[in-house]
Amino acid sequence: MLAQAIWEVSRMAYNIPEKYQDLTPAPQLDKKTLNKMVWLSCFLQASFNYERMQACGWLWGMLPGLQKIHTNKEDLKASMAHNLDFLNTHPFLVTFVMGIVLSLEQNKADTQTIRSVRISAAGPLGGIGDALFWLTLVPITAGLTANMALTGSIAGAILFLLIFNAVQFVVRFGLMYWSYGLGTKAVTMLTSSAKEFTRAASILGVFVVGGLIANYGGTTVRMIIGDTQINIQSLLDGVLPKLIPLLITLGLYVLIKKGWTPVKCILLILVCGIVGCAFGIWTGNSQAMDADGNTIPGGYTPLVEWYDYPEPAPAEKTGQQAWDALTSVVTELQGAGITVTMPE
């Protein structure tokens, strides 16, 4: 707390100049410096706080470039000061902003211009990054690798991490070099189509999540009612397969629209799951067995048994088992003196 207070006092006492003292454009940064900045950008949120968000991590990533651009100590001090302004953008797309700001710093633009461009470039990337990564890349990658993990293969988890991080670092390095080469033109290209791109990525992400709900939504009804043993789940499947997961998703959507937090929704699902299993409403398989070593009908025994779950039908015999049974019957008949001819 003391160190933070000292830093705040020094920050307030320092007035950021409108222009740098040395206005001579700096030479192009080498690939080694740009690559180092890309790796340092991974620590963007290492010093995240609610006052300046990602400002400290941003300056840490920019520092190698700023030190080579500003050989004048006072200019470096001014650049570091205004690069500690509030910043909040997507951590995977931050190199796009870094490249633009580096281009402005290299050409010794005035500090207010650099600050304005930094904010105008960083803002839209938050929504674009969320739509591109969290709503599109992660669901698609997880959906492709989850089946492997469900079968017990560790390759599913490894493949997920490989794909996710490979895409992330290709984007980080690509955006750094691209935006650094374009300079302020990149801001115009970003803002001109940011709304359409974000909407398209969001629609794709929602479409993928809907497919995952239908594929992995395993919530089904266990109940069997009536003297004729009517299977409720079979009736629901006749109306619309995966109807229960769809209703749960739509219900949560309505609750969130009404102001419910995700934590409340998770707790609601948890309570419904526990209560439903206690009354034998939801299908489940605990893989438990009775005293005789037989699988429990319905997968588990509810705490409240208010309906009779039917015994599972005997499994159909294979061709060999049927032949063996027929041979046994024929042998018994022949032993009783009855002539029976077996088919060829």
Percent above pLDDT 90 for the chain: 24
Average pLDDT over residues 172-179: 91
Per-residue burial over 198-209, b = 16 or more CB atoms within 10 Å of its CB, e = otherwise: beebbebbeebb
Report which residue type is found at 206: V
Q: Bigger pLDDT: 74 or 136?
A: 74
Report which residue type is found at 132: L
Q: Is 123 exposed, middle or buried (0-12, 13-18, 19+ CB in 10 A)?
A: middle
Question: What was the pLDDT predicted at 94?
Answer: 92
Residues forming a β-bridge with 49: 53
Q: Bigger pLDDT: 245 or 172?
A: 172
Question: What was the pLDDT predicted at 198?
Answer: 58
Residue 262: partners with Cβ closer than 8 Å, 6 or more residues away:
256
What's the rounded Cα separation, in Å, for the pair 197 and 137? Answer: 15
Question: What was the pLDDT predicted at 95?
Answer: 93
For the chain, give every domain's residue range.
11-215, 217-312
Coil vs helix vs strand at 231? strand
pLDDT in tens, 30-48: 999 999 999 999 999 988 8
Least confident of 20-24, 189-193, 235-239, 273-277: 189-193
Structure token digits, residue 335: 């032993």
Question: What was the pLDDT predicted at 33?
Answer: 93
pLDDT in tens, 200-233: 666 766 776 777 677 666 778 877 776 656 778 8
pLDDT band at residue 152, thresholds of 50, 70 and 90?
A: confident
Rounded to the nearest 10°, the torsion over CA 259, 263, 268, 270 is: 170
Question: What was the pLDDT predicted at 338?
Answer: 73
What's the rounded Cα separation, in Å, for the pair 7 and 55? Answer: 14
What's the rounded Cα separation, in Å, for the pair 270 and 292? Answer: 32
Question: What was the pLDDT predicted at 343?
Answer: 62
pTM of the model: 0.59
Helices within the chain (DSSP H only): 2-13, 31-40, 55-69, 73-82, 94-106, 111-129, 138-150, 155-182, 185-216, 232-239, 243-257, 262-278, 319-335
Contact of 285 with 299, CB cutoff 8 Å = yes
Question: What was the pLDDT predicted at 315?
Answer: 54
Residue 83: partners with Cβ closer than 8 Å, 6 or more residues away:
55, 58, 59, 62, 66, 101, 118
